[in-house]
Amino acid sequence: MSETMTEQRLQRVLAAHGVASRRKAEELILAGRVTVDGVVVRELGRKVDPERQEICVDGKPLRSAPRRYIMLHKPVGYITTTADEYGRKTVLDLVQVPERVVPVGRLDRDSSGLLLLTNDGDLIYRITHPRYELEKEYEVLIDGFPPPEVEEALRRGVPVDGRPVQIRRLEAIRVEPQGTVYRVVIHEGRNRIIRRVFERVGYPVLRLQRVRVGPLRLGDLPPGQWRDLTPSEVAALRRAVGLPEFPEGAVGRERKARGGRGMPARRGDRRPSGVRKEHRRR
């Protein structure tokens, strides 16, 4: 039976309110941290009506939060997490906004590039789940100059943890003194998967930068800076993973450009046509 407009699965409601991704929402339910009308619910898939029932997480009722969609140019040295028990710098040290946003997927500490942050749980789930096959594009500098047979092995699929890594596109784009720079396009998100696959063929990665996620490109956004996605970018991203272009509570207009610490963006900054000014910290 299909869900009605107001009756939905509990984990989907939690994700839609920006509490967590669907997977994390399921963990909250199983841990007994979610109540519906005062009763703890541990059943996954429980149907609820968020308009008529009181849903609480850790005793706090859900609040309808506006959707926020952010693109960050993650620099090397930052951890892609919301908090770090060892006190290391996280991406949320760079992006401080009123909404509770979380990073979408991973970029390891030694990698840089395009990182999305949002409180749209459905979008987080679909971007990170390999079933939806959203492409991610990287520029990768490796140590050395592989012969054609190594490149062909990479295109066929090098196994990591017993499963071949499907590289959709592998193209040498330039040579630097340290080695070869490749354009690599994949859709899976296993931890450090690009580094691991090149290590398997004997060519360690020296530098890795993500330059595209689905229809979104990093462009000329400087390292450490961020900006809100435009409504057209949000629509294109959600469309790419099979979601309606705008969920309830989505940003309906472009936000004013603000710096990472609430400072206005400087006038005259150059940017590609159709892309708003990036956030700059002073």
Half-sphere exposure of 68 (CA within 13 A, CB side): 20
Cβ contact 130:187 at 8 Å: yes
Question: Is 108 part of the annotated catalytic residue set?
Answer: yes
Closest to 246 in 3D by CA, of 85, 120, 92:
120
**What token pair was written down for 43?**
């059943």
What CA–CA distance (Å, rounded) separates 228 from 141?
Answer: 29
Considering the candidates 37, 49, 58, 108, report the single residue annotated as catalytic: 108
What amino acid positions are annotated as catalytic residues?
108
